């Protein structure tokens, strides 16, 4: 080892784009020397820190790219609030197999029943397993599709959506679309049939989807594809938001004033 060794090593690690090894090699080398560790054990540890950092960065990048509105996990989801929802089956959505099999999922239920919360928790769990996820509201997605069409870059947007493994479409049914918007959304769903998964949340039961897609034929064709291989959950019950706010009001009312 010459005086130049540390500098040359740093330069090489930089050139090879191994930033975590660059940051950690000194400290790990000292530890290895103290413990009389063999060279390969040191090299293994050094590569392990790089691999771990890369994995964490990739997960963070996937979560950022997915565009979740807020981070919600299942550890804060109270399944007792929706007793008719099969907890184990919902939790199974956090395992990537169904996306690998190009299955779809639908969460149908009234406002405040935890659809967005559950959809986000599923998406986050899958991002951690290497699944490419995109979270969009139905209205936001249609707006993006229409803008892309007007700006002659629809093909590019559709190609980008094709690279997504799981497209989460939240709040289908709250707003109805123009004929053109509905057709674009239909195209996205139709393109994904057996090629990519979608997770849809909606306040409308399937029987009322005709109002979203304007026309029974388009709706029937869509539902046929969408529900062919699909995990469907009815999230019915009281609004969690409503229940919590009533509970806190009741608590305040019964609490003796200090």
Residues in touch with ligand ADP (CB under 6 A)? 72, 76-78, 81-82, 111-117, 240-241
Q: How far is the CB of 148 from ligand ADP (least distance, A)?
A: 26
Question: Binding partner of residue 72 among Mg ion, ligand ADP, none, CB under 5 to 8 Å per kind?
Answer: ligand ADP
Residue 205 CB, shortest distance to ligand ADP, in Å, is 14
For 229, list phi and psi in degrees, rounded to 5: -130, 90
User: How many CB atoms are closer than 10 A to CB 79?
Assistant: 15
Cα–Cα dist 111/85, whole Å: 15
Backbone angles phi, psi at 94, to 5 degrees: -80, 0
Q: How far is the CB of 248 from ligand ADP (least distance, A)?
A: 13
Query: Nearest approach, Cβ of 142 to ligand ADP (angstroms)?
Result: 18
Q: Which two tokens stand for residue 150?
A: 């007007």
Burial profile 194-227: b = 16 or more Cβ within 10 angstroms, e = fewer: eebbbbbbbbbeeeebbebbbeeebbeebbebbe
Nearest alpha-carbon partner for 198 in 174, 221, 164: 164
Q: Which is nearer to Mg ion, 212 or 218 (CB)?
A: 212
Binding site for Mg ion (CB under 5 A): 116
CA-CA distance, 155 to 145, in Å (whole number)? 10
When the beta carbons of 120 and 219 are compared against Mg ion, the nearer one is: 120
77 binds, among Mg ion, ligand ADP, none (CB under 5 to 8 A by kind): ligand ADP
Residue 94 or 116: the one with the smaller Cβ distance to Mg ion is 116
Q: What tokens appear for 82 in the block?
A: 């929706």
Q: Which does 137 bind (CB under 5 to 8 A by kind): ligand ADP, Mg ion, none?
A: none
Cβ distance to ligand ADP smaller for residue 28 or 141:
141
Give min distance, CB of 199 to ligand ADP, in A: 12
Q: Is 30 or 89 the residue whose CB approaches ligand ADP more closely?
A: 89
């Amino acid at each position: 080892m010459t005086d130049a060794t540390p500098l040359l090593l740093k330069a090489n690690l930089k050139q090879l784009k191994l930033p975590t090894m660059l940051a950690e090699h000194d400290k790990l080398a000292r530890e290895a020397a103290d413990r009389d560790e063999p060279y390969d054990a040191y090299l293994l540890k050094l590569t392990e820190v790089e691999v771990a950092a890369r994995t964490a960065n990739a997960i963070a990048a996937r979560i950022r790219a997915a565009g979740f509105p807020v981070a919600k996990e299942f550890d804060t989801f109270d399944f007792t609030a929706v007793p008719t929802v099969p907890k184990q089956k919902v939790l199974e959505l956090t395992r990537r197999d169904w996306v690998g099999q190009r299955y779809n999922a639908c969460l149908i239920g009234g406002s405040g029943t935890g659809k967005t919360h559950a959809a986000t928790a599923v998406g986050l769990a899958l991002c951690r397993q290497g699944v490419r996820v995109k979270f969009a509201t139905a209205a936001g997605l249609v707006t993006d599709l229409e803008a892309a069409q007007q700006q002659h870059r629809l093909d590019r947007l559709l190609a980008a959506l094709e690279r997504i493994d799981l497209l989460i479409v939240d709040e289908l049914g709250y707003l109805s679309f123009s004929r053109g918007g509905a057709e674009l959304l239909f195209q996205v769903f139709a393109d994904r049939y057996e090629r990519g998964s979608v997770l849809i949340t909606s306040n409308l039961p399937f029987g009322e989807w005709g109002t979203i897609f304007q026309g029974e034929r388009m709706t029937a064709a869509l539902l046929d594809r969408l529900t062919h291989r699909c995990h469907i959950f009815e999230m019915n019950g009281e609004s969690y938001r409503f229940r919590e706010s009533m509970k806190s009001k009741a608590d305040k009312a019964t609490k003796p004033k200090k």
